[in-house]
Amino acid sequence: EVQLVESGGGLIQPGGSLRLSCAASGFIVSSSYMTWVRQAPGKGLEWVSVIYSGGYTFYADSVKGRFTISRDNSKNTVFLQMNSLRADDSAVYYCARVGGTSLAFDYWGLGTLVTVSS
Amino acid sequence: EIVLTQSPGTLSLSPGERATLSCRASQSVSSSYLAWYQHKPGQAPRLLIYGASSRATGIPDRFSGSGSGTEFTLTISRLEPEDFAVYYCQLYGSSLFTFGPGTKVDIK
C-alpha cells in the first residue's frame, strides 16, 4: 500500500529555516517523480516543487532560490528545505507522488502545517 | 506561463443534481497532462481524472472529464452528499505544474 507521511512543520519566525520530510512506503522514491504542493489559509492549492527520478529539480517562481527539494534514497524520503521564510509561506504543505505517464499527482500525504509568524 | 482559470467560483446545487465545472487554459495545452482533483477540509486532495478524461483508480463513474485545447470540463452526473468539496484542475507543462483557483461545490 502506498503511503506518504509528512513531518517537520511548525511555528517559525520570518527569515528562519525549516526542513520538511516526506516518508514514503509502498514504492521507491528514487524511481518516481515527487512533488510538494501547499495550501495557504483560505486559499487554493499551489504547486511548489518537483524532483524527477533523474534528480532534476524545478520550483515555482514564488519559492525559487529559497526552497530546495531533495531525497534520501536510503530512507525512501523526500525533503523540502525552506530558507528565508516569509509570512506568505504559511500553509499546509503536502507531499505527493507524480504518477506515470500522466504526470498527475496520484498519491498524497495528509500534510504538515507551517506557520511563519513573529 | 500557462494560466488556468476555473468557473464558476462557487456552484450551489442539491444532491442528485448534475454539476458541470469548467477549466480554461490561457493557451492550447496537451490534454494528456490535464488532471482534476477533489479536496475536502482536513483531508489530502484526491486525484479524480487524469489525461483530461481517464478516471483514477476507485473513482465512481458519476465523475467524468472531457475537453481539449483550452477548454476542459469535469462533470458529476448526480451529486452525492460526499461530493460537496472544492475541485481543482491542474496542468503539467515545460517541467512545471500549475493549479487552477478551484471551484467550490456546496449544498444549496
DSSP code string of B18-60: -EEEEEEEEEEE-GGGEEEEEE-TTS--EEEEETTTEEPTT--
Q: What whole-number percentage of chain B has pLDDT above 90?
A: 95
pLDDT at position B58? 96
- Flag whether pLDDT at A100 surpasses 90: no
Answer yes or no: do B44 and A111 touch at CB < 8 A.
yes
Q: Which residues of B touch A95 (CB under 8 A)?
A: none
Q: Is B62 on the interface with A (CB under 8 A)?
A: no
What is the rounded average pLDDT of the residues A85-96?
Answer: 98
- Flag whether pLDDT at A4 surpasses 90: yes
Quote the strand ranges of A8-99, DSSP E: 10-12, 18-25, 33-39, 45-51, 57-59, 67-72, 77-82, 91-99
Choose, out of A103, A107, A110, the residue to mutate when testing the contact with B (most B CBs < 10 Å): A103
> How far does the CA of residue B37 sit from the closest CA of chain A (Å)?
9
Q: Is B35 on the interface with A (CB under 8 A)?
A: yes
* Residues B78, A101: Cα–Cα separation, whole Å: 30
Please, which pLDDT band fits residue B1 given cuts at 50, 70 and 90?
A: confident
Whether residue A115 contacts residue A10, with contact meaning beta carbons closer than 8 Å, is answered with: yes
Q: Across chain B, what does the average pLDDT equal?
A: 96
Q: Which residues of B touch A60 (CB under 8 A)?
A: 96
Kindly give, in sequence order, each residue whose CB lies less than 8 Å from that of residue B28, ignoring residues fewer than 6 positions away: B69, B70
> How far does the CA of residue A43 sit from the closest CA of chain B (Å)?
8
pLDDT at position B95? 86
- Flag whether pLDDT at B106 surpasses 90: yes
